Chains A and B, each alone.
Chain A
Amino acid sequence: MHKHSIAELAAGLREKKFSSRELTQAYLKRIDRFDGAINSYVTVTAERALKQADAADARIAAGDAGILTGIPLGQKDIFCTTGVRTACGSRMLDKFIAPYDATIVEKLDAAGMVMLGKLNMDEFAMGSSNETSFYGSVCNPWDKTRVPGGSSGGSVAAVAAGLCPVATATDTGGSIRQPAALTNLTGIKPTYGRVSRYGMIAFASSLDQAGVVARSAEDAAHVLQAMSGFDPRDSTSVERPVDDLVVGLGQSIKGLTIGLPKEYFADGMAPGVRVRVEEAIATLTRLGVNFREISLPNSPLSVPTYYVVAPAEASSNLARFDGVRYGHRAEGAKSLEELYKKSRGEGFGAEVQRRIMIGTYVLSHGYYDAYYLQAQKVRRLIYDDFKRAFADGIDLILGPTATDVAFKFGHNSDDPVAMYLNDIYTIAANLAGIPAMSLPCGFVDGLPTGFQLMGNFFSEARMLNVAHQYQQATDFHTKWPTEYAS
């Protein structure tokens, strides 16, 4: 059952081949069996899931079901869930139970999806390897000595190992796409403002965007469709109707023009990855896509820009975790200042503390203009690069997602800058606010790799259409890591 697509699962439910309760139980059993080694779930909500499954079964019986009704999913532990701990990978929130649901939790609940549990992640979504989580590293199901990528490491590992059919994730600088590429999944980060951020714990507010990791573009389209839409509780969500992401999947992609930024194909990509990405280009060419070399001249500035903007916003967003109202409070503090220092010192891990310090520094009096303001100006230039490309007849942009396949645990952990360079191809989309996705394009020495599509604002349907057509012509995305195939 765990190999079915969402459409197949929905059909099975409707045809009474199995109930949502049975489907849910099957997944809970797999979690029980496999997750001890993978560590993708931080909380399994079996009881809640079975209740939701029963409700879904009742809806299906009553003929009141949508495609997602009764389909299980995993929620990244960054989305607040009423009554279920939301820890965001941090000791700071180890005991935090929100009295509210994130908008996307509400929406997916309303669609009848069944939440199996909350998924592991880098602490406060800061990391590219899922090694910063207070709840321990997550293993890549393709090779358990390697990282699954991050920050949505739990989301991708769970889907890749068949511990849920689909999972939510978030992407601030590549946290959906890079792990998707490293685990042979399809991951999409929509346009900034397309999905509400209400109830999603903030890392860098102007970059954070929720999305989906799935085993195909089609599965991703179904779930993203249900998550998207204007939310009056998020001032940055966009008041604009949501395109039908599913109806156009089968459309021909003949005649589309995809840009290949020369900066993305310069040095930096591992040779094996380059071969696979070039094969993907060849496949798409056979499907009738025209390719044209373009230039995004400011893309080398993405990483430095990001590592000013994101920590600045993070240092501010994380100021609320002071041990006063909720979250970790240190014992034995003798003064208010000591309470702050100890609670935050104990509650936050090293990477989060590093970014808070960077962020505090770049916003400080006397440094603001040189760093934050300058970074915002460069951000504008990066956006302008994309704008120019799309105005010049480019429908989508294609490039690598990650520089290499999944790396071994501890590989980059003593060199934050090397770790930050993992996001080199993914960060620009967040800085520009445009949608982007990663999809599988084959293997290098048995490890999956992916390529990235980027589109103009609100071009999710077009991107998913290309991805789906590509997946109709290839079978990389259908491959399973042997251990979890059956």
Chain B
Amino acid sequence: MSQIPEGWEAVIGLEVHCQLSTQSKIFSGSAIAYGAEPNTQASPIDLGMPGMLPVLNVDAVKKAVTFGLSVGARIAPRSVFARKHYFYPDLPKGYQISQYELPIVFDGHLDIELDDGPDKTTVKRIGITRAHLEEDAGKSVHEGFQKSSGIDLNRAGTPLIEIVSEPDIRTAAEAVAYLKKLHQIVVYLGICDGNMQEGSFRCDANVSVRKVGAPKFGTRTETKNVNSFRYVEKAIEYEIERQIEVIEAGGSIRQETRLFNPDTGETRAMRSKEDANDYRYFPDPDLLPVVCSDEYIAAIRESLPELPDAKRARFVQDFGLSDYDAKTLTSSRELASYYEAVVAASGAEAKLCANWVATDLLGALNKLSKDIGESPISADALAGMLKRIADKTISGKLAKDVFEAMLNGEGSADEIIKAKGLVQITDESAIIAAIDDVIARNPQQVADYRGGKDKLFGFFVGQAMKATQGKANPDALNRLLKERLAG
């Protein structure tokens, strides 16, 4: 990561558009499935046809309130939809229905963690100014048409919340940490699928720079629609560098909207403030104010799922996990549920379960490019294997083989153990027999060991394990080997 030059400071605020995963659009009954044939999910309401009226989807309201409560925000008892006017072919009514003066969610915050070097993190609070409900526009399609453009209105009317942060962010890394946290929360809450490629979660970055200690903010630019964490980081870094260069060269920053080009990693000006639309906001007379009663808000608060930070703390507290493991295992709600299911079903030590899930399983899934929801090993199946470790049927070492076989779909842990004859040897006489055989065949090494070459112990462990095809119980083997070598 590039550093901000000494003496300079960046001021960053983010606007995140988060698509709500409702069944239907915010003001019509049309479906919102991604990737459908163009205009097959557009009703006369979505097309802005004459005489058509919006009717609010109450599920979108519920999801917005759910979000608000999850970031400690206040919920407006009365919020108002407004019309935001501009002409564009993919905006069917000539205005977007949004919220302006009275948003449904305001005055919240998010605590982000910043890595300050090895094993050192600090927590920073980022204010959330507001989050308002609005409808998405359609899409203009330029490929595949000659001398004209197509319009796909499937997306028109998709419910969004626009989440606006305070200008509390100072670095690209903080911006990414904020976005990741926000992303994690909306996915946790089940209010957004979080798919950034499909545009379900996209970000506009407002960036300005100033000399450290300057009383006022510098002129900001807004970089639009950046749709990956990495791009946000790059776009902000580029913008900070560019603005400082301009100012140091004696120039000044123009207030403008910019676009990020992922291929070059640069931003370029799209339109300046002078070209900006006068949106002519006014309350939409087709819609009533949204009224959220205390009872309604309380009922949603009741039904909120456990959020990542709370879950992480509980994992440390209840399962005795390290904060690092707890953080990994709570990174998604599905993973955390998976882990809890493994612990519950296996009866094995929570720490052991954590190692298998966080290290072995996630490592394997990573190689397969799958996420936890697509894991070839179910939580029950993994628990079945951990039970056999716990009851010492197999050693941790044997378990690696069992795990591999399970990944390959060779059956349950018990089936694999049986089929491969992997049951651990705990019968001490069998282990002693193997040890004695090793001692008998390696007189020179035995003499050296007894003469003080302690390091050779590992050699004997290896030989004895080999003789038992790795099935000897490691604890028993170690103990018995020490006894026999001692003579």
A: residues with CB less than 8 A from B are: 79-80, 86, 88, 93, 96, 98-100, 102, 197-202, 204-206, 232-236, 312-313, 315-316, 318-322, 324-326, 336, 340, 360, 363-365, 368, 372
Contact = CB atoms under 8 A, between A and B. Distances in A.
Interface stretch (B3-11, B90-98, B189-197): B90-98
B282 A205 contact: no
B53 A316 contact: no
Task: Determine chain A's interface SS by DSSP, over half rule.
Answer: loop
Contacts of A100: 44, 49, 51-52
A311 to B, nearest CB: 12
Given A93-B50, A312-B282, A365-B278, 4 more contacts: A200-B51, A316-B85, A319-B93, A320-B48
Given A206-B285, A364-B280, A88 B50 contact: yes
Contacts of A199: 51-52
Given A205-B286, A235-B286, A320-B92, A326 B280 contact: no
B51 to A, nearest CB: 4
Nearest to B283: A376
Given A319-B85, A363-B282, A232 B55 contact: yes
B411 interface: no
Sorted nearest first, the 8 A-B pairs with minimum C-beta distance are A319-B94, A206-B285, A363-B280, A205-B285, A199-B51, A320-B48, A201-B50, A320-B93
B383 to A, nearest CB: 49
Interface in B278-299: 278, 280-282, 285-288
Contacts of B94: 316, 318-322
Given A316-B85, A319-B85, A322-B87, A99 B95 contact: no
Contacts of A235: 53-56, 286-288
Interface string B173-203: 0000000000000000000000000000000
Contacts of A86: 50-51
Contacts of A318: 94
B146 to A, nearest CB: 16
Nearest to A202: B51
A86 B51 CA distance: 10
Interface centre among B47, B52, B83, B93 (most CB of A within 10 A): B52
B31 interface: no
15 contacts: A86-B50, A86-B51, A100-B52, A198-B51, A198-B53, A201-B50, A234-B55, A235-B56, A235-B287, A313-B285, A316-B94, A318-B94, A322-B87, A363-B85, A363-B281
B151 A316 contact: no
B262 interface: no
Given A235-B287, A368-B282, A98 B92 contact: no
Given A235-B286, A236-B286, A98 B55 contact: no
Contacts of A360: 280
A345 to B, nearest CB: 14
A447 B281 CA distance: 45
Interface centre among A86, A199, A200, A204 (most CB of B within 10 A): A199
Interface string B305-343: 000000000000000000000000000000000000000
Nearest to A234: B53
A175 B386 CA distance: 79
Contact of A98 (B48, B49, B285): B49
Contacts of A313: 285
B50 A325 contact: no
A324 B282 contact: no
A365 B89 contact: no
B288 A365 contact: no
A102 B52 CA distance: 9
Contacts of A206: 285
Contacts of B51: 79-80, 86, 98, 100, 102, 197-202
A88 B51 CA distance: 11
Contacts of B49: 98, 100, 320, 325-326
B272 to A, nearest CB: 16
A316 B54 contact: no
A313 B83 CA distance: 10
A378 B85 CA distance: 25
Contacts of B87: 319, 322, 340
Contacts of A372: 282
A340 B47 CA distance: 17
Contacts of A316: 83, 85, 94-95, 280, 282
Contacts of A336: 89
Nearest to B47: A325
A128 to B, nearest CB: 22
Nearest to B89: A324
Interface centre among A88, A200, A202, A232 (most CB of B within 10 A): A202
Contacts of B281: 363, 368
B285 to A, nearest CB: 4
B41 to A, nearest CB: 15
Interface string B135-152: 000000000000000010
A205 B85 CA distance: 16
B46 to A, nearest CB: 10
B53 A197 contact: yes
Contacts of A363: 85, 280-282
Contacts of A102: 51
A325 B152 CA distance: 11
A200 B49 CA distance: 11
A102 B55 CA distance: 15
A324 B89 CA distance: 7
Nearest to A197: B53
Interface in B32-59: 44, 47-56
Contacts of B89: 322, 324, 336
A56 B479 CA distance: 100
A201 to B, nearest CB: 4
Contact of A236 (B83, B93, B288): B288
B53 A233 contact: yes
Nearest to A204: B285
B83 to A, nearest CB: 5
B434 to A, nearest CB: 80
A98 B53 contact: no
A325 B48 CA distance: 9
Interface in B245-292: 278, 280-282, 285-288
A372 B283 CA distance: 11
A372 to B, nearest CB: 6
Nearest to A360: B280
A320 to B, nearest CB: 4
Contact of A80 (B50, B92, B286): B50
Interface centre among A80, A197, A233, A320 (most CB of B within 10 A): A320
Contacts of A204: 285
Nearest to B45: A233
Contacts of B288: 235-236
Nearest to B27: A235
A98 B50 contact: yes
